[in-house]
Amino acid sequence: MLRAQFVLFDGFDPLDVVAPFEVLSASGKLAVELVSADGPGVVRSGVTGLTLTATAAFDPDASGYVLVPGAAGPVDEDPDPNVETIPVLLSRFASGDAKPLLRRAFANPDSTVVTICGGSLALAMAGLLEGRTATTHVLGVDRLASIGVNAVRARVVDDGDLISGGGVTSGLDAALYVLERDFGSHTAHTVEQLFEYERRGTTWVSTSGAGEVA
């Protein structure tokens, strides 16, 4: 069975993870798991008091999907010396141990990378999305464009082996789109009925084909 690996990091947004995790799990088509670059262990989210446990190390060579969430926290710079902002959390993840693993995932022909909310911004900060088409949270679209990404204001963007969702709740829409694109409309519709949720927005599909990571 194909794997869907959710890559956790300190400060991740739990809704970016839990919502698409449940959608993909409900499909019965994928082995869905929480992973981290550091291997198994508890990972703190950006929401105080909420943690998730990675059950395995991130394997970029596996067949399936790699899902990258955004971060949760204040947006303004330096709100408090003890509080980490979203830009700081994303930048730390982008320059950490996950970076070379994510590069390998993009090089894997049997892998599709899916980002939710600020996840695409983290990958752009890591230098992995130059020339690609993607979306992110509305507050980060300009920043995404400034790093060499063709930033599109859409709920979901399909750029071949890169699928990105915009705001926090777009994880539901991105995951349902993955099911429809790769497993058929009947699978996606069955999960929609189960969740009593209809996928929102029009998906922007790139006509230029997937880009390459240098």
DSSP 86-110: HHHHHHHHHTSTHHHHHHHHHH-TT
In 3D, which of 121, 200, 122, 123 has the Cα closest to residue 154? 200
- Answer for the pair 177, 199: CB distance below 8 angstroms, yes or no: yes
Give me the active site residues, please. Answer: 117
For residue 96, give every residue at least 6 positions away whose Cβ sits within 8 Å of its Cβ, in sequence order, or none.
9, 37
Q: Which of 49, 13, 9 is nearest to 137 (CA)?
A: 13
Burial of 214 by CB count in 10 Å (0-12 exposed, 13-18 middle, 19+ buried)? exposed
Residues ≥6 apart with Cβ < 8 Å to 195: 22, 23, 26, 172
What tokens does 3 get? 């794997």
CA nearest to 180, candidates 198, 166, 153, 167: 198
